Structure 1
Amino acid sequence: MAQAPSESSKSDTKSLADESPPRSSSDLVSTLPRRGGWAKPLVLYRNYWLNPERLKHIIPVKERFKPHRDDIILATYPKCGTTWLKALAFTVTTRGRHALAAGHPLLTGRHPQEVVAHLEVPTPAGDLAGIDKMPSPRLLATHLPLSLLPPAVAASGCRVVYLCRQPKDAFVSWWYFANQMHKGPSPIKFDEALSMFCEGFSPFGPFWEHYLEYWKERLARPEQVLFLRYEEIASDPVEVVRTLAGFFAVPFTQEEERRGVPEEVVRLCSFDMLSGLEHNQAGDVARGDSIVVGKSMFFRKGKVGDWENHMSKEMAKKLDDVIEDKFKGSGLVF
């Protein structure tokens, strides 16, 4: 198996990306280090491993996306609870328009992945042209690291919610997801996938750099950046919903609290509720280009600590050692 590029080659790659852009994204992709092993080969762009087909949509985000001060951006590392966060954020911010009852969009045909526009996913509801036309306040989502978003995200003062997860659980969830997308003759082996993940070779990885970029931004701008762990939502979803509502500047009123609205939001957006709906089990969510993902693939277990059912003690220690080394001194612990 090919090895990840050295630090010097990473620097060279960053220099290439920082130069004047080639004539097309295809020209750029051809200059980047490429490596296989996951469902599709990835290329190293500005020190992150990315789907090469997605680059033509990622690069314009940094160059042309114009954040508004009242934007809300939901940023997540893949398989860290993106679907749940989208459902919660959409329900909290639109509760004045959509009653938490049988006619709610999430209960009548809309998948959580479809109700929040994704910055780097070219769907009818979520490409940059469509996002530019969205009325404010805009609720947006991304898997991009902070360094691939425009500096104006910080300068504009828009709010960012970042959601991460215990890396061992995030890895297990990604391994399942990748194998569902894998079209090869045999599945991606668990131990080989774990080695790649520990090297920092995974989509939108290295995972530790992704986490740390937003963690440092949260330390620098605590009023505009809310940093959450999946485990926090799982442990006390009602309190997290209250936190989100306050952060979104739409706190629950005393009357809403009396009526149990925060609890209703949690119930409506729960794993059991959403995963059991017929429209979330059949059909696909188009992710642009050749990427089509089955709607049911966004609901697996959602359990904290599921890694214990998959990893040996040696495997867990291998990833724990990476976590300890990469997050040392940052204040971010798992």
Structure 2
Amino acid sequence: MESTSQKNHDPKSNEKEEHRSDQKTVNKFKEIISKIPKKQGVWVFDLYQYEGFWGSAFWLEGMLSVQDYFKPQPNQVIVGSTLKSGTTWLKALTFAIMTRSHVGESTNPLLTRLPHDCVPFIEVELCSSPQKLNLEVPLVATHIPYTSLPKSIINSSCKIVYICRDPKDVFVSLWHFRHKMNPKDMEDHPLEDAFECFCQGLTPCGPYWDHLLGYWRASLESPEKILFLKYENLKNETTYWVKKMAQFMGYPFSLEEEHRGVVQKIIDLCSFENLSSLKVNKSGIVRLEIGITQVGVNTLELKNNAFFRKGMVGDWKNLLTPEMAMRLDQITEQKLIGSGLTLNISTNA
């Protein structure tokens, strides 16, 4: 995605990613996608099922591409998540942590660029616009399920910081985001239909529970490579988890930095209140890349403020009925049985 309000960096590019613009390669992926299950749903685009998960044709093309071509840097850090589980905040925090030694407080790119512009998705931006890969900041993001990640990532020394969230808040955030993408379509797809799709796992990158369980189990097997975060913990104990993230990523805070308040400055910079108040995030435009044709990349324009709605825990109470909340909690309990994972779920409606 690219914000029209900002010029891109001119980073060194990874030439191995230029395959996405090769029409023969695109056609090959389209042929694969044409043979897998497809569902028309309520999420703006048709969804296709591949390796147990649902996604748009464009997203799946990108996933198939990076499975073959993406080569992580030895010190690569990857932000992992599903849609609407805290991705924007986590991108900002990891970017600020990684770049703090050579970026001034007044010149930090987060002040003038959307966090998604600072930390590109490997299966989206880096496939269609390889020049967006900044080798000087080895930080990228993905919504790809763990079991579908490129073997080059699984077998590498790179680290993954993954974030999950109460499914009820994920659904509500996804519902609002979906209508910001296509507000004219609200009446055609009522809340109840979208809720049923979410419960059945028929969502972008879904089923949600399978996605987070993949990363959770991998984090148990390789805790030195995967840090598993919960959005609610990050909200309640931000200082602790920011310091833990920095240590895990290989960018620990020194005692001198802590004494100078660097940790708190990063937290303040990346707070919802600060980011949502910035001009770029209030009035900027992002172009979501949604497909490739022979003449170029199709895009959908969306205001940057679509990524900054409330950023709070428990907002589901303003939309879901008690019965809906109970159903999602029951599904979550059933899905997580035997995994050792518990989510910080609020239950009082």
Alignment TM-score, normalising by the size of structure 2? 0.84
Residue 104 (structure 1) aligns with: 108
Deviation track 1:47-92 (CA, whole Å, cap 9, x = no partner) reads 1110112222221111111123211000011101111001100111
Indicate the larger mover: 53-62 or 215-224: 53-62
Residue 8 (structure 1) aligns with: none
| 2:98–2:137 Cα contact (<8 Å) kept | no
Q: How many residues align?
A: 309
Shift of 1:310: 1.4
Partner secondary structure for residue 242 of structure 2: helix
Let me know the Cα RMSD of the aligned residues: 1.9
| 1:62–1:150 Cα contact (<8 Å) kept | yes
- Is 1:328 equivalent to 2:342 in the alignment? no
Paired with 1:295 and 1:23, the residues of 2 have a C-alpha distance of 32
Residue 16 (structure 1) aligns with: none
Matched ranges for 1:1-334 at <5 A: 24-37=28-41, 38-100=43-105, 102-107=106-111, 109-122=112-125, 127=128, 129-130=130-131, 134-135=134-135, 138-182=138-182, 183-184=184-185, 186=187, 188-288=189-289, 289-334=298-343
Deviation track 1:212-242 (CA, whole Å, cap 9, x = no partner) reads 1000100000011100011111101111111
Deviation track 1:234-275 (CA, whole Å, cap 9, x = no partner) reads 101111111111011111111111111100100011101010
Segments of 5+ residues of structure 2 without an aligned counterpart are 1-24, 290-297, 344-349
Paired with 2:302 and 2:52, the residues of 1 have a C-alpha distance of 26
Partner secondary structure for residue 156 of structure 1: coil
Paired with 2:323 and 2:31, the residues of 1 have a C-alpha distance of 42
Amino acid in the other structure paired with 1:172: V
Shift of 1:25: 2.3
Distance 1:186 1:296, change over 3 A: same
Alignment TM-score, normalising by the size of structure 1? 0.88
Paired with 1:73 and 1:127, the residues of 2 have a C-alpha distance of 19
Partner secondary structure for residue 175 of structure 1: helix
Deviation track 1:199-222 (CA, whole Å, cap 9, x = no partner) reads 011000000110010001000000
Identity %: 38
Paired with 1:287 and 1:293, the residues of 2 have a C-alpha distance of 7
| 1:92–1:265 Cα contact (<8 Å) kept | yes
